[in-house]
A and B are shown apart, each in its own frame.
Chain A
Amino acid sequence: MTTQVNENQFDEAQLEGQFASTIKAKDRIEPRDWMPEKYRKTLVRQVAQHAHSEIIGMQPEGNWISRAPSLRRKAILLAKVQDEAGHGLYLYSAAETLGTTRNELTEKLIAGKQKYSSIFNYPTLSYTDVGTIGWLVDGAAICNQVPLCRTSFGPYCRAMIRVCKEESFHQRQGYELLMTMMRGTDEQRASVQESVNRFWWPSLMMFGPPDDDSPNTEQSMEWGIKTHTNDELRQKFVDMSVPQAEALGVTFPDDGLKWNEERGHYDFSTPDWDEFWAVVKGNGPCNEQRLAHRKRAWDEGAWVREAALAFADKSAAEEATK
């Protein structure tokens, strides 16, 4: 559906019919296509939240760039955090095709009017966390994002294909770091287990609240913005992670975790949803710190962005008088 339509030529019902059949045929909606206002709003919210997550997500791992214990690991970490900035860029660009701007979205983030993934409100307390984040957090993110490579909005879908490819590389590097550390000293092995203990539950919470507590899921699935429910993805993640943990030689901090032959899935305990909602509502260990960091960088950069605009204006004016 790429033909440009003049809204006056059609009545609303006809447009909605076309939109619905595009969704039904699993074709893509492109920026210049007609779309329901609520679809646009929901997408802006989702893509912006995703973009913000990439940018805020630079901080917890960025915390260890200066202290990475080998030069190769330093290069890997710096390149990874740089990739996150790149993901933020494509996602903000995808959001811009829906009629907003990066500046506007950044201002909303800083004002606390838009969210980012709560996982980044947890602290990174050891360099080992870099590996755990790669393995579990990026792993959970990939589970969430892979279905989005087939999402109904074209620019978002294309951005996600690239993002997922890079994320899977990051996940592999994280897992490889932990694997290597497990072959190291006792202290290193203990550090891996300690880090996994801290990140397991927050990783499970990354799939969002349970389905019966997730008000937007139904509409988003109908629109093809979301393709799996939170609980489906969470189960999938647990099923994939358990054999990985066994291969690594670590355990997950859940006594209720065991294989259920009947279901063909692992059973697991209920995450602490009170903690989840506390973090979402702003009371996580690092919410204020993350936003303050982003605000400081943005505010301190204002004079540079102004200078770049002034320079561009002057150059254009000089060009015009030539």
Chain B
Amino acid sequence: MSNEPSINVDHDEAGANIEHGDHENAYSGLLVNDAHWAFGTDFEDPLAGVDTTVPEGVDPKDLAAYCLMLGDDALVFSQRISEWCSNAPDLEEDIALANIALDLLGQSRLLLARAAAADPGLVPQLPEGSPVPDEDRLAFFREDLQFRNVRLAEVPNGDFAEAVAKILIYSTWRLAIFERLQSSRDSVLSAIAVKGVKEMTYHRDFAGRWVLTLARGTDESKTRLLSALDGLWPLWEELFETHPTEASVAAAGIGVDPAEVADEAGVILDQVFAAAGIDRPERGVLAGVRGKKGRDGLHTEALSKMVADMQVVARQYPEGRW
């Protein structure tokens, strides 16, 4: 990586500099704009100040379609993980899962905003004068069949073993892709990947440790882990299938062909399984419909319900200001 355009990342260092001053006025905090809150919770446009010019020789429509795929993966998976909030086995895991969901949500916002900037034609039309920003039009005003995420991301939540197994699989796959994407010719995608690599290294580590713990913990935890991996495994292959859009952005030097990272991701997963003393599940691949799968907008039944829930308030106020 020679040039790394940076996107402002506010890592949570809450409490690092707490002053013992005047705490009397409950409203004094309304006026300060501290920089240490979670990414994406401030009042800025996510791509503020970033050059969004599409690099030469790249079809903006391909770039946008590709960003939508990656953005939908992150959005849908974040939505699922956030369902864990207040439901985790203990407070530490509740906080960790929320962190992962927040990281993915941040990635999806950048990717959706990038998609909209590259191809405004992709963005759903709303009534004249609607203040809804592009990232939200894409997230809340597309139909479920227009979502391009891989089907793994939408699998309904199971138990905690299912959560860590799914995060391990997703982050192992996505990290391998993002490591390459860091050298994308598109400076925005490259910056998103640089930020994402740091985040997903932690996600993979969190999930890997728990897979190890559950595999070697009790009989029950091992049984649950094996059953979770078994249930998810049919979706493993789909992660590495090349969609024509991915082939074309890879050829243009702005995207990554997922098939290229299949071996690498498989080796890493096998290392975790070996350390945990468990075997790779042996399951058939989950079929699509006439070959169409998540990347083509062909999903499982679970997605439309999830999307309906996610979009309900936004659609109630198509001209709403948030």
Enumerate chain A interface residues (CB-CB to B < 8 A).
55, 58-59, 62, 64-76, 78-79, 81-83, 85-86, 88-89, 92, 102, 127, 139, 142-143, 146, 149, 161-162, 164-169, 171-173, 175-177, 180-181, 183-185, 187-188, 237, 240, 244, 293, 296-297, 300-308, 310-311, 314
Residues of A within 8 A of B320 (CB): 69, 181, 184-185, 187-188
Residues of A within 8 A of B88 (CB): 297, 301
- B46: shortest Cβ distance to chain A, in Å? 8
Which listed residue, A169, A173, A308, touches B217 by the CB 8 Å rule?
A308
Q: Contact at A70–B133, with CB atoms within 8 Å?
A: yes
Q: Which residue of B lies closest to A301 (CB)?
A: B89
- A293: shortest Cβ distance to chain B, in Å? 7
Q: If A58-B85, A89-B95 touch, does A311 touch B217 (CB 8 Å cutoff)? A: yes
Q: Contact at A311–B213, with CB atoms within 8 Å?
A: yes
Q: If A72-B40, A79-B37, A143-B26 touch, does A165 touch B18 (CB 8 Å cutoff)? A: yes
Most B C-beta atoms less than 10 A away, residue of A59, A79, A167, A307: A307
- B186: shortest Cβ distance to chain A, in Å? 21
Given contacts A66-B83, A70-B132, 9 further A-B contacts (CB under 8 A): A64-B313, A70-B322, A71-B105, A85-B98, A88-B91, A102-B91, A240-B26, A301-B160, A304-B221
Q: Contact at B140–A69, with CB atoms within 8 Å?
A: yes
- B221: shortest Cβ distance to chain A, in Å? 3
Q: Which of B59-97 contact A (CB under 8 A)?
A: 75, 79, 82-83, 85-95
Q: Does B309 count as interface, using CB distance less than 8 angstroms?
A: yes
CA distance A188 to B322 in the complex (A): 10
CA distance A277 to B38 in the complex (A): 38
Q: Contact at B317–A68, with CB atoms within 8 Å?
A: no
Q: Contact at A172–B319, with CB atoms within 8 Å?
A: no
Q: Contact at B218–A310, with CB atoms within 8 Å?
A: yes
- B57: shortest Cβ distance to chain A, in Å? 31
Q: Which residue of A lies closest to B89 (CB)?
A: A301
Q: Contact at B159–A66, with CB atoms within 8 Å?
A: no
- A112: shortest Cβ distance to chain B, in Å? 19
Q: Contact at B135–A71, with CB atoms within 8 Å?
A: yes
